[in-house]
Each structure stands twice: as C-alpha cells, then as structure tokens.
Structure 1
C-alpha cells in the first residue's frame, strides 16, 4: 500500500548524485547509488559496462511485457573548468536562494533523479500492468560510443525492449514546460587538409600556397545555402570553426593548412549526401589552385523525427496539466542520445530549463525538480491507465 512508503525526494536524490564527481568517463558512485536505490524498490538492475564506461539498465516488471515505458538519461558530467571561479563547491550540491548548485545539477542529474523518484513511487503505489525501464549511461558527454549504444546493443542481445522512451534532457529554453523535443538535427564534422609546396614568400612562383585555396573553400562552404528548412526543422547550418596553419614566420609560404567545419543538418540531408558535397567542393578547389586535398569526416548522428502523435500528445498533456503551459514541439538544439534510441523505439525528450548547463555555477531551481517529478509521475499514470 502507498502508506508503507514515504515519497521519494527528488531534490535530495539530485543532491546526492551531484556529490558524485562523475566527470566522463568516471562513474563517481552515481550509478552505484541508483543501483542500490532502484534495487530496493524492486527493479532488476544490471550494470552494462563497456570499454571502461559504466552504464545501468533497470527494469521493474516482467521481461517481455506487452508494454513498457522507458527513461533514458546520463549521470556523467562535463569538467568543472576553473573551480575557483565557482561561487560554491562544484560537487557540494549546496542549496541556497531556492536553487541547487553544482556540476550536473541541470544537465542532467536532476532529470535522472526526477524520473527515478517518480517511477519508484509509481510502481510502489500503483503497480502497473507492464514494465518501467531505465537505460542510464555514463558516456553522454564523451564520445558516446560505449554509453546508450552499449545499453541498446545489450538489450537487443538479451531480448529487452522499451515500447516508447522519454529522454530526460533539459529541453525548456525559458519556462518550465515550454518545449518538448520530437527530433534532433544531425551533426557532421569534417577535417580538411590542403597541401601545396612550401617556398620563400619573395618567390611565390616557386611555391604553391594552399592558403588562398582554403580561403576560397571556406567561403564556398560557408556562403552556400544548404536548404530553407523542412516541415519540422529549421534550415541546416554550416560553421567554419577553425583554420590552422601554424606558420609563425612572414617569409615562408606554408606547405599545408587545415580547416574544420561542423554541419547541423535537417531531414533534407544525410551524412553521406553531405560528405559527397564536401568532397566535390574540395576537389573543385584543389583542381583550380593545383593543391592536394584530404578530408576526414565524423557523422555524430543522423537527423531524426518522431512525428507528432500518441507519445508527444501524452507528454504534452502531462506537461500542460502540471504547469499550465502548452509546450512547443521542437527539433532545435544540439544532439542527444535520443539519436540512438530512435532506432529502438519511438522517443521524445522532455526536461527542465537548461539555461545554466555546462556553465560555471550550474544550478537548478529546487521547485523545478519537484515539478519535473510530478510531470513524469503523471506521464507514467496516463501511459498505463
């Protein structure tokens, strides 16, 4: 019965998680804490570690249940930077002025704490006809090769499955409840090297300078309109993020120069189509200037969309009921582990306001943590109703 159990405090749990110094790839005790907490609540917990990265899978209910609701999140955090610049201990989880301070308070230990607290109370008070699943990683802020991907690989091997999934990343730009993510843009980075012939700057005809070629290429790429947006996505963007030559002298024409670009792209493109375009642009410039080109590409994830429908309606309804705010369905922002989950089941993202994530003095409003637990609890209640 519900009276046997005190409600699980999401603020206290957030503070305990923040005190775990889990800077990627260190586990820091955060997953161990969740393992103990969830096991005590009747969840079957399994550590799914891969290549030194810690991950936790937890399930309440029967394996192979007809329907299951999954939560995905991460307990790893980015480095604190200059600790002396912080107002409080970055791993102290101090509560003052109605805020909980510390690295990971916003991104996203409060989200993990809120969905863990909501689910624990839910299965204790009103055991559902189905399963509640957690896939929690320690590798979201890193390379993300051995985090959620490892969990999903393990789930496939073990016959574990989520019917739908909610990723608890911060999604709200300004006000609690103002945005749900139903997709994400893809992200592709390219490292381009152009090589000519080194020579004396007084005798440029005896050299082949790759810098004018790179300047031309940078201009061609950055001034090109990739698209004008699609039904659910803003226009794709390309940013030249660095050009490096490493030439400290004024009388030497360099042999080579390097440029890095990052493309955030919508569903009008794929990683392959953008790679082909970059290659063609580079080849064209190389032919024009007589230089040699080489390119390496990393596609961090394709764009994806969970079309508006039952899952987004369920979450939007719960958000509005608890906050009075009608959320916008968005595909804005960077990438998240939803880009991996989307190959497993329908996935959307909803979490708190993310204005201080990755900043010095990262912090979260205590009231938002409690509100987020209430939203997640209502989502579970409505899903299994």
Structure 2
C-alpha cells in the first residue's frame, strides 16, 4: 500500500515553492504537472489573481465522489535570520522536514495528493476523486475555495463528502477530528455624539458613555452556555478608541471592535440584529448615533456523526491506537465553505509548529497521514 509519490518528499518539494499569500510560488504548478502526468484531469481556476487548482480522477458525475481540500499558500516567514534553516529550504534532518508550510499545510496537501495518486488505479469505474487546492486560505479567502466551489457548480462537478487536511490534532496523531467549526464575525461600532467641554457635559453628548454602556450590555451575560457539540459562544472587545488627546474635551466620536465566535445556537444574522437593537435603544435614550459595520467570516456548521464520520474515526483509531475526539474547537478554515457543498470534516497533522519560526514536521507523521487518507479511500469505495 505504498504510494508512488512519497508524501514526505512531496512536502519538502512544496516547501521550496515560496508561496506566501497571494503568490503561487510554483506550488500549484508542481502539483498540476504531477497530477496530470499520473492521469488526473486538472484545471486552473484562478479568480481575481488568486491561484487555485481543481483535479479529478474518474469521470464527471460519477456515482461516488470523494473529495479533499487544502491550501498551498503560507503566512510570511518573519525574520529569516531567526530560522535555524531557511524557511523555504525544505531542509530534512533527523527525520524532520523544516520550512514554512511544513505543518500548515503543504504536508496535508502532499499527504492527500500522494494517497489519491496511489489509490487512483484501484478506484472503481463508478467512482471519482476530486482534489480542490487553493492559494488563498491564509489571505482574504474570497477567491480561493469559494471560487473553486463556484466553478464546480457551473461545471456540474460534485463531491459527495470531503476531508479538509488542516492540522486537527493538538498533541498526538489521532487525538481529534473536527466535525464542525464555530462561526466568526467582526463588528466595527462607531458612536457619534456632540463635542463639548468636560465641565459642561449638559451641552455635549458623550459618545464614549453610550458606547461603553453598549459594550457592557454585550458582555454582562454570556451569549449562551454551549450546545450539544459546541462550547459556549464568545464575544470579545478587541479595541476601544476615540483619538482624543485632551483630558478636558468630550469627544465627538468613539469606536470599538467586537469579535464573536459563535456556536449553532446563533447565526450571524441573529447576533447582528441583537446588537443593533441594543444600540438603537441606547441611541434613543442618549441621542448618540451608532453606525455598525459587520463582516462575517463564516457561519457555524456541524457534520453530524454518521457513517462518514464513523468511517474516518474507525480508520484513525485503527492506525494510531487513539480514540479521536469529535470536536468543533478552533478558529475558521475553508471547511466553512465546503459545508455548503457536501458533508465535510477536518483531519490532519499535529499543529504544534504552525505559523511559528522554525516550523517543521516529522516526515513519518506525514507518511502516516497519507496512509490514513489512503485507507479512507479504500474503505469509502469498497
């Protein structure tokens, strides 16, 4: 069950492509050439300068189609002088592969590409394997996986289930499978009052008082106490500012930023409406005007435990000896887009070194992940 493409070697080759968002860096070119040469039908699906790759083994519209999703773009390396080995060297030493993207997530892409290539000739006639790989997960994300899914819809391409290969394990391989994620939204709240002398507050309208009152109402009670598969939602005030250098002047304007990570007890719409209603009530009492801008990174979602989840869980347990927790923890990933297309879960490497100086990964861990993906394909199409 050895892949014709070694996942660890492919990881090192991908690291050597300096694909800092939004640069492609040669990573997708490398994958496209490799996949095309082994019989995959490949299409570049670039949008607004963002590089993306679609690859399929088998026929379009196959009865059973298994999908993988991942990204080859990486965050900047920071101070190159702080690295033990150059961040785009793909240096291999003592069983470790070093470089930016070693953990997040060129290794995950290498693992599922290797597994897909190795299994392709065993894929049944009524089956297909689809790989969707973006160069814009670490960036805005608006023209990455979303562009791939839009293109697939227009072309009649469909995944029945999908695994996103993001690092999912906290400390050991096999500890955790992500079956959902909290939603994420950010609100920019601007309050406008009337400037005046601090000694004559009756002649002014203090926007800070109204804004602080609103923020207090938002944080005085928890949004919820958690749900069956999710921890409690969290609302965090990340900035408050009025730009006022004078201690005896009531400012005209004040602003705050609020970030909310919410579970399936809410939607971004219900939370946005709640905050706007509170702001409207305070505005009516104080005369201070509120202007609120909302940016939604993604809604909460859950792939409920069932045959797909249990199949992956059984294989991970058998391969690693650990019973993986089904989790919805962490931030956001491109699974928030895939969930609108098909059932999706996340399983990948241990994420210890992602985004750090001296990012690195054990080569054998990458090979183990590829073996798990290969076994998942074998079981799914059995």
- TM-score of the superposed pair, with normalisation by structure 1: 0.95
Q: Per-residue deviation at 1:39?
A: 0.5
Q: Per-residue deviation at 1:91?
A: 1.3
Residue 210 of structure 1 corresponds to which residue in structure 2? 207
- 1:167-316 matched pairs, under 5 angstroms: 167-316=164-313
- 1:74-113 matched pairs, under 5 angstroms: 74-113=71-110
- 1:313-328 matched pairs, under 5 angstroms: 313-328=310-325
1:376 aligns with 2:373: yes
| CA-atom RMSD in angstroms | 1.5
SS in 1 for 2:119: helix
- 1:139-158 matched pairs, under 5 angstroms: 139-158=136-155
SS in 2 for 1:105: coil
1:333 aligns with 2:304: no
Bigger mean CA deviation after superposition, 91-100 or 352-361: 91-100
> 5+ residue gaps in structure 1?
none
Q: Per-residue deviation at 1:215?
A: 1.7
Counterpart of 1:128 (choices 124, 127, 133) is: 124
CA distance in 2, matches of 1:6, 1:69: 18
Aligned residue pair count: 381
Q: Deviations over 1:68-96 (max 9, x none)?
A: 11000111111222323323211122223
Change (3 A) 1:6 1:352: closer
Bigger mean CA deviation after superposition, 304-313 or 211-220: 211-220
Bigger mean CA deviation after superposition, 206-215 or 107-116: 206-215
SS in 1 for 2:177: strand
Q: Per-residue deviation at 1:41?
A: 0.9
CA distance in 2, matches of 1:367, 1:174: 15
Counterpart of 2:160 (choices 142, 160, 163) is: 163
- TM-score of the superposed pair, with normalisation by structure 2: 0.96
CA distance in 1, matches of 2:354, 2:142: 22
CA distance in 2, matches of 1:374, 1:240: 43
CA distance in 1, matches of 2:137, 2:278: 33
Contact 1:103–1:358, Cα closer than 8 Å, also in 2: yes
Residue 29 of structure 1 corresponds to which residue in structure 2? 26
CA distance in 2, matches of 1:78, 1:252: 43
Change (3 A) 1:223 1:80: farther
CA distance in 2, matches of 1:57, 1:374: 22
CA distance in 2, matches of 1:83, 1:219: 43
Q: Deviations over 1:304-347 (max 9, x none)?
A: 11110111111111111211111111111111111111111111
CA distance in 2, matches of 1:76, 1:271: 28
SS in 2 for 1:45: strand
Contact 2:3–2:117, Cα closer than 8 Å, also in 1: no
Change (3 A) 1:244 1:82: farther
Change (3 A) 1:253 1:82: farther
Contact 1:233–1:332, Cα closer than 8 Å, also in 2: yes
Change (3 A) 1:213 1:85: farther
Contact 2:123–2:381, Cα closer than 8 Å, also in 1: no
CA distance in 1, matches of 2:50, 2:207: 41
Q: Per-residue deviation at 1:363?
A: 1.6
Q: Per-residue deviation at 1:249?
A: 2.9
Contact 1:311–1:348, Cα closer than 8 Å, also in 2: no
> 5+ residue gaps in structure 2?
none
Q: Deviations over 1:138-171 (max 9, x none)?
A: 1111111111111111111111111111110111
SS in 2 for 1:107: coil
Residue 119 of structure 1 corresponds to which residue in structure 2? 116
